[in-house]
Amino acid sequence: MKKDTISALATPVGGAICVIRLSGPDAISIADTIFSRDIATAKANTLHYGEIMDDDRCVVDDVIIAVYRAPHSYTGEDSIEISCHGSAYIVQQILILLEAHGARQAEPGEYTRRAYLNGKMDLSQAEAVADLIASTNKAQHDLAISQLKGHFSKELDNLREQLLKLTSLLELELDFSDHEELEFADRGELDTLAHEIDNHILNLADSFKTGNAVKNGIPVAIVGKTNVGKSTLLNALLHEDRAIVSDVHGTTRDIIEDTTTINGLLFRFIDTAGLRKTDDTIERIGIDRALSTINRAMVVLWVIDGMPTPEELNDIQNRCKDKHLIIVVNKTDIDKDASQATCSFIASSTPTTTIIKISAKKGNGIQQLEDAIYNSLSLAETTSADVVVSSARHYTILMKAHDHLSAVIDKLSAGISADLLAEDLKLVIDDLASITGQDRIESQETLNFIFKNFCIGK
């Protein structure tokens, strides 16, 4: 890690105030050279009002400077935060002064990277900082807060502690290898504990489906025949004219995708090409993509505007066996009796399927549909106290740990020697350690990948 001093703007320019951060061994002395008051000997965690002065001792701005001393700062280093007025010119002049006195411009994510390397947070918590900054709704915020507070890290620490205990007992047996009858680790207890830990790892990995959906938006496919009102429904759900609406069949030939928030959860609605037989090559491609979209969706809205055949009803149910299917009866404003007859037929054929009557054109029933979409998922119950995996990196490593632990279980069944069991257990421990960066040196490539998408001031 570079031991120099860095500076960066930590807030957007143009507001009432902006915050400029410095971190590093010379942060306080550099700030002292351009500040009208002495802060070189200032106590930690104190605020100081004064003026930023240029090299000609002309006033640049009235500011408040916060002083933090190592290790009690975000980065674990001596740090300064300068709160100045939000003028782009003022910010630029202060940054130029700081650089002229030895504080180089920070790289993306460098503050949080230094916090990780200085032991202020583990790697999974560092990743959570980026998720917290990017959160746009309560569910995303709660997931990021949970990880930032270390709930996920504590789960992993508990698993690693149990594995380390088993490994130490197995390695103890190796020290007495000349006494083959000695077994410090009871193989039956070891097998039971290995299965328990493996189940815990799989449960964490299974939560990735929830975490990924919350983080990136829950995919909802809008499907149905041509001209049943799918695009009108998309516009109603998004509360804007996103899709072209036309009475001409086959207007939508490709998927149209956009997001909106319902009750604090981000949903990604996908309008698809109308399902029908066609000789049009381009439209056929759109229909194929529509069917593919069903496979990727967690919720499927099947939009109809008339009585479906038993074959059509059976087909959509087969395609949505592992999905949350909601049948949306549209255009109820045209013929209420026909719509009611349609709902009665579907209810008698599939009594467990959710049916919502709407008029997408007039907006009738849209609120009820949004509630049905929201209530179809247990994701709404996720809180900041839950441990939910939302990182693809974490999921991949957990599955790798599962594979290595499965090898341990297989070798236990086969009566394999303690040395080989210990080696496989070490692989599981290393896998879990790589998530948080504990007791393991991460490669430069991994660190660069994690921190490259951070903003400059974080």
Q: At what angle do helices 444-451 and 123-134 cross, to 10 degrees?
A: 20
3-state secondary structure of 114: helix
Question: In the prediction, which pLDDT does 454 show?
Answer: 61
Beta-carbon count within 10 A of 150 CB: 17
Cis before 351? omega within 30: no
Backbone angles phi, psi at 295, to 5 degrees: -65, -30
The pair of three-digit structure tokens given for residue 192, joined into one six-digit string: 């039971």
Strands 6-9 and 59-68: unpaired
Strand ranges of the sheet holding 6-9, from the earlier edge strand across to the other edge: 46-53, 59-68, 79-85, 17-23, 6-9, 104-105
The beta-strand segments (E) located in 86-185 are 104-105
Question: In the prediction, which pLDDT does 139 show?
Answer: 80
Q: What is the pLDDT along the chain (458 residues), one digit of tens a residue?
A: 568 999 999 999 988 999 999 999 999 999 999 999 999 999 999 999 999 999 999 999 999 999 999 999 999 999 999 999 999 999 999 999 999 999 999 998 999 999 999 999 988 999 899 888 888 878 888 888 988 888 899 999 888 888 887 777 776 666 555 555 555 556 777 888 889 999 999 999 998 888 888 888 888 999 888 888 888 899 899 887 655 444 444 444 456 788 888 887 889 898 876 554 555 555 455 556 666 778 888 899 999 988 988 988 888 888 888 889 999 999 998 888 888 999 999 999 888 889 999 999 899 999 999 999 988 886 545 555 578 898 999 999 999 999 999 998 998 888 877 778 888 888 888 899 889 887 553 445 445 655 665 666 66
Report d(CA 39, CA 33) in Å as an integer.
9
CB 365 within 8 Å of CB 358: yes
Q: Given its phi and psi angles, is residue 224 left (phi above 0), alpha (psi -120 to 50 degrees) or beta?
A: left
The pair of three-digit structure tokens given for residue 400, joined into one six-digit string: 């790798």
Backbone angles phi, psi at 57, to 5 degrees: 65, 30
DSSP per residue over 401-445, as a string? HHHHHHHHHHHHHHT--HHHHHHHHHHHHHHHHHHHTTTSPPPHH
Backbone angles phi, psi at 300, to 5 degrees: -120, 125
The pair of three-digit structure tokens given for residue 248, joined into one six-digit string: 């001409």
Computed from CA positions of residues 145, 147, 152, 154, in that sequence, does the dihedral angle turn out positive or negative?
A: negative
Q: Is 312 exposed, middle or buried (0-12, 13-18, 19+ CB in 10 A)?
A: middle
Beta bridge partners of 327: 302, 355
Cβ partners under 8 Å of residue 162, min gap 6: 193, 197
- Pinpoint the alpha helices (H) of 247-391: 281-296, 310-319, 336-349, 366-375
Beta bridge partners of 259: 268
Q: What DSSP designation does 281 have? A: H
Q: Rounded to two decimals, what is the model's pTM? A: 0.71
The owner of tokens 């077994």 is 183
The pair of three-digit structure tokens given for residue 143, joined into one six-digit string: 């997931």
CB 198 within 8 Å of CB 163: no
CB 380 within 8 Å of CB 263: yes
